[in-house]
């Protein structure tokens, strides 16, 4: 999907309360899950042992770590929303997050991104985002989160 572009930071303010963008689909591979396990030292079998997960898990196979799904928001945002006239952006925090449905390895997910709040801060703005991670073919979202970032001009 094409990126949603804003010429400058101020162009976002009237978009509070609206959906800004929808990302492209991303396949969750076992290799990605394994790399995340290595990076975080979270080697729980439900994520990294396909044979055991197939046999013992209620999901019939391995699933992505919830925090892997959460961490993908940064890439979804970077690849989906472009804000011109800013020199940098930083993640500021997460107010709420819920992992509402598992993300099985082999499934595809995407982000629906809405702007919840725009607040001026010295040198830029603090943006609160509503992000819903959808899993292809599922009615229930895989994750819902309210994240906060800052952009500086």
pLDDT in tens, 88-115: 999 999 999 999 999 999 999 999 999 9
- DSSP-based three-state secondary structure for 13: helix
Distance, CA of 73 to CA of 57 (rounded, Å) = 26
Distance, CA of 134 to CA of 112 (rounded, Å) = 8
Stated pTM of the model: 0.93
71 has a pLDDT exceeding 90: yes
Please provide residue 70's backbone torsions phi and psi, each rounded to the nearest 5 degrees. Answer: -60, -45
Where in the chain are the domains? 4-152
1 has a pLDDT exceeding 70: no
pLDDT single digits (tens) 12-63: 999 999 999 999 999 999 999 999 999 999 999 999 999 999 999 999 999 9
Distance, CA of 110 to CA of 79 (rounded, Å) = 11
83 has a pLDDT exceeding 70: yes
Query: 4-152 in CATH: which number?
Result: 3.10.129.10
């Amino acid at each position: 999907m094409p990126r949603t572009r804003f010429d400058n930071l101020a162009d976002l303010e009237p978009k509070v309360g609206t959906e800004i963008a929808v990302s492209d689909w991303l396949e969750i591979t076992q290799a990605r899950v394994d790399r995340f396990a290595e990076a975080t030292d979270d080697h729980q079998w439900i994520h990294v042992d396909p044979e055991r997960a197939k046999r013992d898990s209620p999901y019939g196979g391995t699933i992505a770590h919830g925090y892997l799904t959460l961490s993908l928001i940064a890439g979804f945002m970077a690849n989906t929303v472009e804000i011109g006239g800013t020199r940098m952006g930083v993640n500021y925090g997460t107010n709420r997050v819920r992992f509402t449905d598992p993300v099985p390895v082999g499934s595809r997910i995407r982000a629906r991104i809405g702007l919840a709040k725009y607040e001026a801060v010295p040198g830029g703005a603090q943006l609160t985002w509503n992000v819903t991670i959808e899993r292809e073919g599922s009615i229930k979202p895989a994750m819902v989160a309210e994240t906060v970032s800052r952009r500086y001009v």
